[in-house]
Amino acid sequence: MKIFGSPQLESQDLGGTVQFVLTQNYGLVGNLFGPLLVGSFAVYSWRERSVLAMIAAAAGTVGLFINWLQGRETILRVDPTEIVARGNLGKCFTTEIVIPRSEITSIGWSAGGEGDSGGLYVATGWRRPYLLPGATEEQGRAILDTIARRFPEYPIDERQRGSFLFCDDSGITTLGLNDPDARSWNSEP
């Protein structure tokens, strides 16, 4: 078993439909971190008789159980009329999303941030649910290329999404301060 896990992507051509299967491999650290954290909250709540720590341990146990029930796989199926995502979507009570093509404003990949897992998303107006949460940028680009090639009617968002903190444009900003031709702020006009 690897120390750090990584998601694995498989793609399948099913005639008029393309299917992608993303399997999360959490690795040794990912498999042990959650139970150890929940266990430490449980031990702390028992020793200190802390109600807040007990609630945190109970919520963590429920979250781990729901994640275990949903499994490690997420299946994304794309056809000319709709997109269907099934499996572990990173939500507690949502295991399937069906979005008609007519409602989709763009499909893209986001790095995530601020409690956001990142991955492949579909924008429908103000909503932007993740269809393959945890997909890497390379996997997202491969999926987007396949969708654009097979179904050109789907709107693909070409720019990489950064975090919400930087207004989804977290690229590097240069000020040109090293430019020898630029004027200094304190020089005479």
- How far is it, in rounded angstroms, from Cα 122 to Cα 139? 15
Q: What is the mean pLDDT of residues 29-50?
A: 82
113 phi, psi to nearest 5 deg: 130, 160
Domain 1-25+72-169 has CATH 2.30.29: yes
**Bridging pattern class, strands 18-23 and 73-78:** antiparallel
What three-state secondary structure class fits 126? coil
Categorize the per-residue pLDDT at 2 as very low, low, confident or very high, splitting at 50, 70 and 90: low
b/e sequence 141-155, b meaning 16+ C-beta within 10 Å: eebbeebeeebeebe
Confirm whether pTM is higher than 0.75: no
Q: Which two tokens stand for residue 122?
A: 């579909």
Tell me: pLDDT of 73 over 60.
yes
Q: What rounded mean pLDDT belongs to the chain?
A: 78
Enumerate the CATH 2.30.29 domain ranges in the chain, comma separated.
1-25+72-169
